[in-house]
Amino acid sequence: MISPKKISILGAGQAAAYASNEIRKHDKEIKITIFSEENYLPYERPPLSKDSLTGRKKYEELSFFSNDFYNTENIQIKNNTVEEVDFEKKILITNDAQSHTYETLLIATGSKNKMLNLGESEDDINNSILYLRNIEDSKKIKQAINTHNKFAIVGGGFIGLEIASSIAQLGKVAHIIEMGSQLMGRVIPHQIASLISDYHQKNGNTVFLNSNILSIQKQNTGYQIDLNNNKIDVDCIIAGIGSIANVDLFENTALKLDNGILTDEFCRTSEKSVFAAGDVANFFHPFYNSQMRLESYQHAQNHGIAAAKNMLGYNLPYTKIPWMWSDQFDFNLQLVGLCNNYDLEVQRGDNIEEGIIYFFLKNKKIIGACGVGIAGKIGRDIRLAGKISENKVTMDIEDLQNKKIKLNKFLKI
Ligand SMILES: Cc1cc2nc3c(=O)[nH]c(=O)nc-3n(C[C@H](O)[C@H](O)[C@H](O)COP(=O)(O)OP(=O)(O)OC[C@H]3O[C@@H](n4cnc5c(N)ncnc54)[C@H](O)[C@@H]3O)c2cc1C
């Protein structure tokens, strides 16, 4: 096994931080450089829409590892945006016009927000819409919540709903505008989406489904939003309408792209000695025998670790079962495995208070599950659902529906 002497990491988020830590666990000598366009040490993003907005977690508490860690482990962080990558010459060019050669490169540039576009004539309004991706965005939204009362949240996906939940918890009101017929897209069972919609409304928010923005007018102190089915007056507009892989830098290069950077199960891209991990990678998953791109905390961490091992020559396929969560108010939503292409949906439990889970089965085998419950009510069963699906266990449907029968029974067969 021949390890490189020098590894460069483009991007300084979760995948990058955990990759650098993993490299150091295996090798104390390799030169590691992380290129970061943000002026913070790599930090976790989930609190940005939740505890950092409500004030339960300070922005200074979000770093994965301390400054001491990077110093002690001799991991160099360069606070420069990479503006160009020359894969042939193996060079990165940064915004200070410096060239940096790499031997092995990990691309971990994450994803970027889709933007609302109301047309050029509405540039004033376009520029005043807030988005959330990083600490600076979260600080701006926090400031807006301090100074305003009524918010339009455009997009009823995870991030929009988490911001709306934080707004309501701070005693303000969020009007959630969703163009689809349910919240959180079609992956989430509509029964769960509707329980969550009720929860928001019980806590003072409003939910507008099947709603498109026709126009936005600036008023003295805020905005009037004309929807196809309503009119809303708000003080501030925040959009969470989805994200895409952050690949602008590679558009005109030979690197193969398709909904992100295409990689195999070893995190290898189409370019020699170039790997990709986290949100930006559209990777091959051997268990599902298909390509997929995930935007989740746990995946970014595990994928970064897997990429590190493979850059060092371990040749280990990445086979983790997808898992993600969302926290809103006092409930927790979790998704494991795949929640599409199933032939049977099985419900266990019937309310948020006690926890409710939908299992998705194909040929009587669990391929995914989605659940929601007051904190702590569904975590164990979702974890077990992941293990059961990994073990390809044939299920007894009546037992699966029955909350009195513990799920670990299925792992003992
Ligand atoms: C507000 C928010 C809340 C979330 N909540 C949850 C949650 O509850 N549960 C969950 O499972 N997941 C959640 N996620 C998703 C999770 O945080 C991401 O999947 C994870 O951060 C992805 O890690 P990454 O390393 O791939 O990318 P990122 O963490 O996005 O890091 C990419 C980094 O690369 C930098 N970069 C990009 N281009 C360049 C360049 N040219 N030069 C230098 N640097 C560059 C970026 O500035 C960024 O710092 C949330 C995400 C957000 C934004």
For the CA of 326, the closest atom of ligand 1 is 8
Domains 6-112+244-311 and 330-411 share a fold: no
Give, using CA atoms, the residue closest to atom 30 of ligand 1: 110
Summarised one tens digit per residue, pLDDT across range 266-324 is 999 999 999 999 999 999 999 999 999 999 999 999 999 999 999 999 999 999 999 99
Centre of ligand 1 to C-alpha 330, Å, is: 24
Centre of ligand 1 to C-alpha 119, Å, is: 28
Strands 274-276 and 104-107: parallel
Centre of ligand 1 to C-alpha 340, Å, is: 25
Summarised one tens digit per residue, pLDDT across range 83-106 is 999 999 999 999 999 999 999 999
| CB within 8 Å of 73: residues ≥ 6 apart | 20, 21, 24
Angle at 136 between CA 151 and CA 246, to 5 degrees: 95
Centre of ligand 1 to C-alpha 109, Å, is: 8
φ, ψ of residue 179 to 5 degrees: the values are: -75, -25
How is residue 321 annotated by DSSP? Answer: P
Centre of ligand 1 to C-alpha 29, Å, is: 28
Give 413's pLDDT tier (boundaries 50, 70, 90). low
CA dist 190 → 105, 181, 206, 335, 337 (Å): 42, 9, 18, 14, 18
Q: Which residues line ligand 1 (CB under 6 A)?
A: 10-16, 35-38, 45-46, 48-49, 81-82, 108-110, 132-133, 159, 246, 249, 278-280, 295-298, 300, 324-326
CA 188 to chain centre: 15
Average pLDDT of span 229-237: 97
Alpha-carbon distance of 336 to 189, in angstroms, equals 13
Alpha-carbon distance of 141 to 159, in angstroms, equals 13
Alpha-carbon distance of 67 to 19, in angstroms, equals 16
Q: According to the model, what pLDDT value does residue 252 have?
A: 93
For the CA of 48, the closest atom of ligand 1 is 1
Q: According to the model, what pLDDT value does residue 257 have?
A: 98
For the CA of 277, the closest atom of ligand 1 is 26
The CATH class that applies to domain 6-112+244-311 reads alpha beta
Give 352's pLDDT tier (boundaries 50, 70, 90). very high
CA dist 106 → 20, 32, 121, 268, 307 (Å): 10, 11, 41, 9, 8
φ, ψ of residue 82 to 5 degrees: the values are: -85, 125
Summarised one tens digit per residue, pLDDT across range 174-227 is 999 999 999 998 789 999 999 999 999 999 999 999 999 999 999 988 999 999
Q: Are 346 and 369 in contact (CB under 8 A)?
A: no
Radius of gyration, alpha carbons of the chain:
22
Centre of ligand 1 to C-alpha 13, Å, is: 6
Give, using CA atoms, the residue closest to atom 3 of ligand 1: 46
Summarised one tens digit per residue, pLDDT across range 382-405 is 999 999 999 999 999 999 999 999
Centre of ligand 1 to C-alpha 110, Å, is: 5
Centre of ligand 1 to C-alpha 131, Å, is: 14
Q: According to the model, what pLDDT value does residue 2 have?
A: 75
Alpha-carbon distance of 372 to 355, in angstroms, equals 6
SS3 of residue 375 by DSSP: coil
Centre of ligand 1 to C-alpha 35, Å, is: 14
Centre of ligand 1 to C-alpha 141, Å, is: 18
Return the exposure string of 179-215: e unless at least 16 CB atoms fall within 10 Å of the residue's CB, then b: beebbbeeebbebbbebbbebbeebebbbbbebebee
Given the candidates 3.30.390.30, 3.30.70.920, 1.10.3720.10, 3.40.50.300, the CATH classification of the domain at 330-411 is 3.30.390.30
Summarised one tens digit per residue, pLDDT across range 126-177 is 889 999 999 999 999 999 999 999 999 999 999 999 999 999 999 999 999 9
> Residue 79: pLDDT above 90?
yes
Q: Ligand 1, from 64, 279, 334: best to mutate by most atoms within 8 Å of Cβ?
A: 279
- The CB density around residue 102, as the number of other CB atoms within 10 Å, is 22
How is residue 257 annotated by DSSP? Answer: B
Residue with the two structure tokens 């006690």? 354
Strands 99-101 and 6-10: unpaired
CA 248, 60, 167, 358: dihedral to nearest 10 degrees? 70
Tokens, residue 302: 């595990």
**What CATH superfamily classification does 120-241 receive?**
FAD/NAD(P)-binding domain (3.50.50.60)
For the CA of 323, the closest atom of ligand 1 is 11
Q: Ligand 1, from 37, 163, 331: best to mutate by most atoms within 8 Å of Cβ?
A: 37
Q: How far apart are the first and last CA of the chain?
A: 39
> Residue 3: pLDDT above 60?
yes
Give, using CA atoms, the residue closest to atom 20 of ligand 1: 297
- The domain spans of the chain are 6-112+244-311, 120-241, 330-411
Give the DSSP H/E element, type plus range, for residue 79: none
Own/partner pairs, 191-194, CB within 8 angstroms, 24+ separation: 191/347, 191/356, 191/358, 192/333, 192/356, 192/358, 192/370, 192/371, 192/372
Q: Are 308 and 148 in contact (CB under 8 A)?
A: no
Q: According to the model, what pLDDT value does residue 117 have?
A: 82
pTM: 0.97
Return the exposure string of 315-343: e unless at least 16 CB atoms fall within 10 Å of the residue's CB, then b: eeebebbbbbbbbbbebbbbbbbbbeebe
In this structure, which amino acid lies at residue 332?
Answer: N
